[in-house]
Structures are given as C-alpha cells and as structure tokens.
Amino acid sequence: MKESQYIWKDGKLVPWAEATTHILSHTLHYGNAVFEGTRAYMTKKGLAIFRLKEHIRRLLDSAKIVCIKSPYTQEELEKAHIELLRANRNDYHGNVYIRPIMYLGYGVMGVSHINAPVSVAIAAWEWGAYLGEDGINNGIKVKTSSFVRNPTKAMMGKAKVAANYLNSQMAKHEALSCGCDEALLLDDNGFVAEGSGECFFIVRNGKLVTPPYDNTLESITQATTIELARDMGIPIEQRRITRDEVYIADEAFFTGTAAEITPVRELDARVIGNGKAGEMTKKLQEAF
C-alpha cells in the first residue's frame, strides 16, 4: 500500500502512522463497523471524487441498519473527504482510492455495542486496478464459490458492514487457492448473487443482464453502469441468473468501485464468449 501523509480521524488530520486504535476496540472483537470504497479520479482540474454524496448516504444508511449512531452529518463527512484529499494532494499523482470507516472503539466489552464509543476515519491512497491491469484489458478467471452469499434471513446485505466480508474473504481465498482471480457467489437458492466484492453482469442476445438486489448491496457502480447502458440504448434486464446461463453468455463482467468494469473471460473452466473483453463490455468501460 502506498501511504499518504494524513488520515482524517474523528475530526482531525492525523499522520498516517499515528492513526491507531486500541486493541480492545469493540469492532475488532465483534465485527460491527460500516465502511465505503470511493474513488477520486485525476482530471485536468485535479482530483474529482466519484459520486461522493451517494457513497456517504450509503455509509449513513449502513450505520442506521446496524444501529451505529453517526457522530457526523452527511455534509460534515463530505467536507472531511475533501479536506483529506487537499491535505494529501502532494502525495497523489494518479487516481486515488478512499476508505471511510465508522467503527466502535474502546470502552466496553461484551456482545452489546450500545455504550461503545463511535469513531470515524477516512484514509486515501493511490491504488490502481483492483483485479489487475491485465484483468481490466483481457479479462479474469473466475470460480463459482462453495460458499453461498450471506442469506437475508441471517445477515443484512443492504449494509456495507465489516462482518459480512468474512463470507467474501473465504470465497476469495478459495478462488485464489484454485488458481483463479475472483469468486462468483450464488445465493442460498442457487442463483448468481455477486463476486466477493463486486456486482455481476452478463450479456446475452444483445441484452445486458444483472441480478436483482434481493440479498446484495445496492451498488453505486452497478447503478452507474445501468445508467450508461440506458444512455447508449442498450436493453437491460434485472433478473435472476443461473450459473449455467453464465457459461453460455456472450460476455460477462464485474463492476465495483475498486474493480470498476472488469471482464470475465472464464468461469469454472468454461470460456465466456470469445475469451476476452466483449464489444459491449469495452463500450461500457470506455464510457465509464
């Protein structure tokens, strides 16, 4: 990781190495924290944060779902992002990844979190393609995971909460161990849900298809991709997808803040389409 000079923590700019927390912080032991992944792109006028309002709104929505009371408003958090990027501007020479996190600090132990203090931190650093530049250009190998996506009857998928990502971490580890780049998780009914940290699209017969939000996060990059497709006149379907339908798709790709738009060239040793980024995928990448 390429370190920056400052991290914004609880209302102050703190030197990167000093932005620490206590070993008995509640979140470390029980997993209740909410976070976001946001990107800032280098433009001719400087860094521009991608859909900042939407990302902060989702952060606050996530906090509400898991009963964390935010000490900061939407406007205060937006200003904090801008303050951090300005303070670190000499550290950035390209696109930047931003990670705000709201977590439970030191003060109480036990499962109940009601009296735990709430902290907020924002870090930002230069970070390239999450799944690799080659993956962006030529596509990645994917494995259907043996782990199913957290079911809605057990976890709350509309919250971007730290505890949910153990499921993703194990799926990713399994995929990497099998020589693949990423995992595709099914829901508990056997339909495609999402990747370990991305939403999923296929192209069939000229239509762009993506799963519904039944048990997944409401993705900002997925919504952006759908908007771009509509602007380009591409027919869109949001419906259930089976694993075998992916095998016979013309194209497939992942979307996400970190992954952006990454083509899938292979799933479970089946080549998707022509085994590289398809024409529709390329058009959406360029528009994005």
- The residues carrying an active-site annotation are 160
Please name every residue paired with 72 in a beta bridge, in sequence order, or none if there are none.
none
CA gap 120, 4 in Å, rounded: 18
Cα dihedral 49→95→211→157 (10° resolution): -70
Per DSSP, which regions of the chain are E strands? 6-9, 12-15, 33-35, 38-43, 46-49, 96-104, 118-126, 140-144, 182-186, 192-195, 199-204, 207-210, 236-238, 251-256, 260-267, 270-271
Under a CB-based contact definition with an 8 Å cutoff, are residues 53 and 273 in contact? no
Q: 74-87 and 52-65 helices cross at what angle (nearest 10)?
A: 130
CA gap 56, 5 in Å, rounded: 23
Please name every residue paired with 184 in a beta bridge, in sequence order, or none if there are none.
144, 195
8-state DSSP, 186 = E
CA gap 85, 40 in Å, rounded: 9
